Amino acid sequence: MSSESSRLDFAPGLRALRHRNFRLYWSGQLVSLVGTWMQSVAQGWLMHRLTSSAFMLGLLSFAQFFPVLPLALWAGVLADRTDKRRLLMITQGLLLVQAVMIALAVTTGVVKPWMVLSLALVYGCINTFDLPARQSFVIELTGREDLSNGIALNSAAFNAARILGPAAAGMLLAAFGEAGCFWINALSFAAVLAALASLRLPEHVEPASQRSVGSTLKDGVRYAWATPGIRDLLLLLAVCAGLGFQYNVLLPVYTRDILHEGPRAYGALLSAFGAGSLAAAFRMTMKLDRWALRRNLLVGLVLGGVGMVGFAWWHWFPAMLVMGAITGFGLILYVSSTNVLIQMTTEDRYRGRVMSLYTLMFVGTAPYGALLSGTIAQRMGAPVATSLCAVLLLGGALWVSRRLRDIAAREAEVAAAEQEAEPAS
Is the pLDDT confidence value at 213 over 70?
no
The DSSP annotation for 247-261 comes to: GGGGHHHIIIIIS--
Is the pLDDT confidence value at 212 over 70?
no
Return left, alpha or beta for 161; rule: phi > 0 is left, psi -120 to 50 is alpha, else beta.
alpha
Is the pLDDT confidence value at 422 over 80?
no
DSSP state of 377: H
pLDDT at 101: 96
Burial per residue of 243-261, b for 16 or more beta-carbon CB atoms within 10 angstroms, e otherwise = bbbbbbbbbbbbbbbebee
Query: What crossing angle do the helices spanning 351-359 and 68-81 adopt, rounded to 10°?
Result: 160
In this prediction, what percent of the chain has a pLDDT beyond 70? 93
Summarize the confidence of residues 172-176 as an average pLDDT. 84
pLDDT at 8: 58
Is the pLDDT confidence value at 252 over 50?
yes
Is the pLDDT confidence value at 150 over 50?
yes
Answer yes or no: CATH 3.50.50.60 is held by domain 13-199+215-414.
Answer: no
**Strand intervals (E) in 256-369:** none
Is the pLDDT confidence value at 141 over 80?
yes
376 or 80, which is more confident?
A: 376
CA–CA gap between residue 83 and residue 86 (Å, rounded): 5
Q: What is the pLDDT of residues 42-58, one digit of tens each?
A: 998 899 889 988 788 87
Exposed/middle/buried for 224, CB within 10 Å: 0-12, 13-18, 19+?
A: buried
Return left, alpha or beta for 11; rule: phi > 0 is left, psi -120 to 50 is alpha, else beta.
beta
Helix, strand, coil percent values for the chain (each to nearest 5) = 85, 0, 15
Is the pLDDT confidence value at 373 over 50?
yes
pLDDT at 10: 67
Given a contact cutoff of 8 angstroms between Cβ atoms, the answer to whether 353 and 217 are in contact is yes
Is the pLDDT confidence value at 3 over 50?
no
CA–CA gap between residue 114 and residue 68 (Å, rounded): 20
Structure confidence at residue 2 as a pLDDT band (50, 70, 90): very low
CA–CA gap between residue 11 and residue 9 (Å, rounded): 7
**What's the whole-number average pLDDT of the chain?**
85
Is the pLDDT confidence value at 282 over 80?
yes
The number of helix segments (H) and strand segments (E) in the chain equals: 17, 0
Structure confidence at residue 419 as a pLDDT band (50, 70, 90): confident
Is the pLDDT confidence value at 82 over 80?
yes
Is the pLDDT confidence value at 93 over 90?
yes
Exposed/middle/buried for 168, CB within 10 Å: 0-12, 13-18, 19+?
A: buried
CA distances from 396 to 10, 40, 276, 333 (A): 37, 28, 20, 14
Is the pLDDT confidence value at 332 over 60?
yes
Report domain extents, the chain.
Answer: 13-199+215-414
Q: Which residues contact 329 (CB under 8 A, 6 or more apart)?
A: 276, 277, 279, 280, 300, 303, 307
pTM score, two decimals?
Answer: 0.74
Exposed/middle/buried for 379, CB within 10 Å: 0-12, 13-18, 19+?
A: exposed
Is the pLDDT confidence value at 142 over 50?
yes
Summarize the confidence of residues 142-168 as an average pLDDT. 82
Q: Which residues contact 95 (CB under 8 A, 6 or more apart)?
A: 123, 126, 127, 130, 189
Selection from 64-68, 156-160, 339-343 with the highest mean pLDDT: 339-343
Summarize the confidence of residues 331-360 as an average pLDDT. 86
Q: Identify which of 226, 28, 39 has the alpha carbon closest to the alpha carbon of residue 137.
A: 28
185 or 271, which is more confident?
A: 185
Is the pLDDT confidence value at 229 over 70?
yes
